[in-house]
Amino acid sequence: MLEIRHLKTLHALREAESLVDAADRLHLTQSALSHQFKELEERMGMPLFVRKTKPVRFTSAGLRLLQLADATLPLLRAAERDISRLAGGTAGRLHMAIECHSCFQWLMPTIDQFRDAWPEVELDLASGFSFAPLPALARGDLDLVVTSDPLEIAGITYVPLFTYEAMLAVANQHALASKPYIVPEDLLSETLITYPVERDRLDIFTRFLEPADIEPAQVRTSELTVMMMQLVASGRGVCGMPHWALHEYSSRGYVKAKRLGEKGLFATLYAAIRADMLDAPYMRDFLLTAKDTSFSTLDGVSAVR
């Protein structure tokens, strides 16, 4: 009666806030996920969760199946990992670089899980802020690069991890805090705080300000997210960053998060990998772990359509 996919969908629904979020985590449409739940409930002969509750509230039957999912899914993942080791060997190298300061927030838990599962794989992590990581990947100096700026390079494949929204952090008392969304002209008189990277790697410049031919009054940089938030909260500038990095501060009322443009500014984060590494069992497992970790720990991310 039960299938593994049913357990995975129940597990995803518990971790998400709604059917829409659960569908994103499973890379399904909301319609497909609703149909899957309807089919399962018909098989069980009873409802598994209460509709239109947030967070989702499960029935007794749903909770019992979640217990089964919690016991079964980790064993399944471990078995799949063991089989991959047998098929492809356990040793290897995974040297990676990050082009996104705020990625450390979710990438470190991914690396911790991966290290435990693949102890014989040589792991190394570097910041991609002081050198060009994509050419280094093409040369073979690196094996994976986390980036939101894919470049067409022969032999490099980009695996989408998730879509996120870039937003603007402003002080609670700032005049822009009451606006429904930000337009480029709003930044004409502002100090824009950014990470210390080139402008052509910052969406707020390439996709928001430059198309409108707008230059902020001043630009200052900081390497630490917490310092950037301190500067914003004290009224010394505004800052653009991914919603998942900003949520920790805006949810506590430390700063306000404002949408960039009426429809928002969305981008996709990718894992750049050499084509010859795509089929390595430990690389496939790292990508799965990275996606699972991002959807379970980050606010405001969605599956790439």
User: Among 31-35, 187-191, 201-205, 253-257, where is mean pLDDT lowest?
Assistant: 31-35
Q: pLDDT band at 84, cuts 50/70/90? A: low
| Residue that wins the pLDDT comparison between 102 and 113 | 113
By CB atoms closer than 10 A (0-12, 13-18, 19+), residue 68 is middle
Instruction: Compute φ and ψ for 238, nearest 5 degrees.
Output: -120, 165
- Cβ(192)–Cβ(204) below 8 Å: yes
Cα 184 to Cα 129: distance, rounded to the nearest angstrom: 26
Work out the percent of the chain whose per-residue pLDDT is above 90. 38
Give the pLDDT of residue 11.
85
Tell me the per-residue pLDDT of 202-253, one tens digit each, with 9 for 90 and over.
Answer: 889 999 999 999 999 999 998 888 999 999 999 999 999 999 889 889 999 9
* Assigned token pair, 169: 């952090």
Higher pLDDT, 287 or 83: 287
pLDDT of residue 88: 61
Distance between CA atoms of 176 and 169, rounded to whole angstroms?
A: 10
pLDDT value, residue 231:
96
Q: Please report which confidence band the pLDDT of residue 2 belongs to, taking 50, 70 and 90 as the band edges.
A: confident
Residue pair 283/96 in contact (Cβ under 8 Å)? The answer is no
Q: Can you tell me whether residue 186 is helix, strand or coil?
A: helix
Contact 143, 273 (CB under 8 A): yes
Enumerate the H helices of the chain as residue ranges. Answer: 4-15, 19-26, 30-44, 60-88, 104-117, 133-139, 203, 225-233, 243-250, 281-297
How large is the average pLDDT for residues 9-20? 81
pLDDT at 273 over 90: yes
Predicted structure pTM score: 0.70
Q: Quick one: which of 189, 179, 207, 205 has its CA closest to 266?
A: 207
pLDDT at 126: 79
Identify the band that residue 290 occupies on the pLDDT scale cut at 50, 70 and 90: confident
3-state secondary structure of 222: coil
pLDDT at 87 over 80: no
Q: Are the C-beta atoms of 98 and 136 separated by less than 8 Å?
A: no
The amino acid that residue 110 corresponds to is T
Residue 129 has pLDDT above 60, yes or no: no
Torsion sign, CA atoms 158, 271, 75, 84: positive
**Contact of 50 with 105, CB cutoff 8 Å:** no
Q: Which residues pair with 96 in a beta bridge?
A: 125, 144
Indicate if the pLDDT at residue 304 is higher than 80.
Answer: no
Whether residue 271 is predicted with pLDDT greater than 70 in this model: the reply is: yes
Taking the alpha carbons of 224, 229, 232, 234 in that order, is the dihedral positive or negative? negative
- What pLDDT sits at residue 89? 59
Query: How large is the average pLDDT for residues 163-183?
Result: 95
